[in-house]
Structure 1
Amino acid sequence: MRARLLFPTVMAATALTLAGCGTQDNTASNGPAASASPTTSGTSTAEQDSVGTSAVPEALRFTGTTVDGRPFDAATLAGKPTVLWFWAPWCPTCKAQGPETAKVAAQYQGKAHVIGVAGLDKRQAMQDFVKDTGVGSFPNLSDEAGEIWKKFEITQQSFYVVLDKDGKAVFTGSLPAGDGLADKLSPLVG
């Protein structure tokens, strides 16, 4: 009988102890993209500080692979506004957004980043989409497992997330044919 009473007490104490082991960012969120969940990299705090990741906003703490198989680390985007364009290869709306998104990427090259995040299909279909729509001038990530989509709480294709230079989401939503994307990015580049 005594063991039954002691077990819940020990479990509660253990849970309280473990809850203090992690850190949590309690800053206000501005839509799904601003509340992106943290990812872990397996490196110590000292290692992170030595490579400057402590200055990387939480929104840009993810890695991936481009549709052509190259590794990608979003930490390299820190310090400049960033557009994340979530698309699917079979989506006609996404295909219509391709030309305007590529135009904005070229217009703001060196001042802001544009990154495509492909999902909901296989890599070959993603590669074909990039080739067919002419969006190969900027990185497009193959997110077959949907990890980046989950991080930003994206539930539909054809969705933009615009982050300011500090990684704060200033716009999340769809832009038919990409119209208005330059208007969203322009005030962020100064």
Structure 2
Amino acid sequence: MRRSTIIGLAAAAMLTLAACGSGETTSSSATTSTSTAPTAAASSDAPQGEAEAVSVPKQLQFTSKTTAGATFEGASLAGKPAVVWFWAPWCHICKGEAPRVRDAAKSSGVSFLGVAALDDVEPMKGFVEEFDLDFPNLADTKAAVWARFGVTSQPSYAFISADGDVDVVAGALSASELDSRIAKIAG
């Protein structure tokens, strides 16, 4: 077997063993400073046709497919506050969190991205439809995006500030905890 296949299988096995999150909320204090080359990204405040260079954190340097089959560039989240929610379609805790994540995405004014793993695309699509998640949700069937963020269980979150600091939090968050962390990155 090729080395990348073995590594991928090992990562998938590790994630499968993680099962459905423990319910504990722990911050990994994984605030990372970005040492990546700037990438041009259009600012929503800039006049049309002007682009402003933003630094893209290494965690956002990926291309993946959404549950609907569209291509998603992680770098599109750079330069603005964003929440990345890691979930699995069979996870009961994730099902309990889905309505509050959906509501926060609609009301917060920050970008949201869901990253589903540990299952096939069809159950992921069903979860997105069941909970009316109208923000992009990736079908991370090989858990490659999970690995970029160091996520080993679901639910987990990554809170990304506009300047590229990334804080990964493992475990479920109450509505007030989620709102507080969003307010912190929204500045």
Q: What's the TM-score once normalised by structure 2's chain length?
A: 0.70
2:92 alignment counterpart:
92
- Give the Cα–Cα distance (whole angstroms) in 1 for the partners of residues 56 and 90 of structure 2: 33
- Give the Cα–Cα distance (whole angstroms) in 1 for the partners of residues 176 and 162 of structure 2: 22
SS in 2 for 1:105: helix
Change (3 A) 1:171 1:113: same
Deviation at 1:133, TM superposition (A): 1.6
- Give the Cα–Cα distance (whole angstroms) in 2 for the partners of residues 157 and 113 of structure 1: 20
Contact 2:119/2:141, CA 8 A, preserved across alignment: yes
SS in 1 for 2:138: strand
Q: Which gives a bigger RCO, structure 1 or 2 (Cα 8 Å, sep 6+)?
A: 2
Q: Deviations over 1:68-102 (max 9, x none)?
A: 00000011111111111000000010011101101
- Give the Cα–Cα distance (whole angstroms) in 2 for the partners of residues 50 and 134 of structure 1: 32
2:136 alignment counterpart:
139
Q: Deviations over 1:113-160 (max 9, x none)?
A: 11000000000000000111221x100000001100111111111111
Change (3 A) 1:77 1:33: same
Identity of aligned residues (%): 33
Q: What's the TM-score once normalised by structure 1's chain length?
A: 0.69
- Give the Cα–Cα distance (whole angstroms) in 2 for the partners of residues 155 and 132 of structure 1: 25
1:105 alignment counterpart:
105
SS in 1 for 2:146: helix
Higher relative strand content: 2
User: Which runs of 5 or more residues in structure 2 are unaligned?
Assistant: 1-26, 42-51
* Matches for 1:5-84 after TM superposition, within 5 Å: 31=28, 34=31, 55-84=55-84
Contact 1:56/1:75, CA 8 A, preserved across alignment: yes
- Give the Cα–Cα distance (whole angstroms) in 2 for the partners of residues 177 and 95 of structure 1: 13
Q: Tell me if 1:148 matches 2:145.
A: yes
Deviation at 1:167, TM superposition (A): 2.0
- Give the Cα–Cα distance (whole angstroms) in 2 for the partners of residues 63 and 189 of structure 1: 25
Deviation at 1:185, TM superposition (A): 0.7
- Give the Cα–Cα distance (whole angstroms) in 2 for the partners of residues 93 and 71 of structure 1: 28
Higher relative helix content: 1
